[in-house]
Amino acid sequence: SVNYNEDQQAKPEEGVSFTIDTIGTGYEIKNGVAGSLSYMPKGRIDKSGPTFIAGRSVGKALIGDQKTYTERRLKQLPSFTDYQIKHNIPVTIDGLSGYQIQAEGKENEIVLLTMLYLPDDGGYYMLTGLSTKTHAEDIEVFKKLSASFKRK
C-alpha cells in the first residue's frame, strides 16, 4: 500500500546531476521536469516573466562543430525564431567547454543560451535564460547563474 505524507516537500534539485547557485540573484527553483530545473524570481507565481532553465541532454547528439551546434539549438528554442545574435563566445564552466550566445528577438525577447559539452559521451548541458528587452538586467543574472553551474 501507499502512504501519502502531506508534510513531505518535493525537492526537484535531487533529480538532476548538477547544481546552480542562486545566492544573490533573487531567483529560486520553481520546478523540475525530466532532469531539468526552472528558476524564476522569488515570489513570482505567473509564468510570463524572466525564466532560467538548466538541464542535461537526454541522449547523445551528433554535435560536430560546437559553435555551429549552439547556434542550431538557439534556432530550436520555442517561439524564438526571428533573432539577432549579439555574441557567441567560447566559455569554460566547471571544466566543460562550450559556447554562450546572447541574442535578441524581434518581439522584444532576450535570451542567453549556454551550451556545455561532455567530451566523452556526446551529451551536453543546456542553460537558457529568457526575458524581455525591457528587463535587460536579467542577462547579467543569467550569466551569474550559468557561471555557477557545477556537476554533482
- pLDDT at position 35, please? 85
Above 70 in pLDDT, residue 47? no
pLDDT greater at residue 113 or residue 33: 113
pLDDT greater at residue 44 or residue 56: 56
Q: What is the pLDDT of residues 116-140, one digit of tens each?
A: 999 888 899 999 999 987 777 899 9
Residues recorded for the chain: 152
Name the grid cell of 40: 524564476
Name the grid cell of 2: 501507499
Helix (H, G, I), strand (E, B), or coil: what is residue 67?
A: helix
Q: How confident is the model at residue 83 (pLDDT cuts 50, 70, 90)?
A: confident
Alpha helices, DSSP H, located in 30-137: 66-75
Above 80 in pLDDT, residue 44? no
Classify residue 13 by its DSSP letter.
G
The whole-angstrom separation of Cα 70 and Cα 146 is 15
- pLDDT at position 82, please? 78
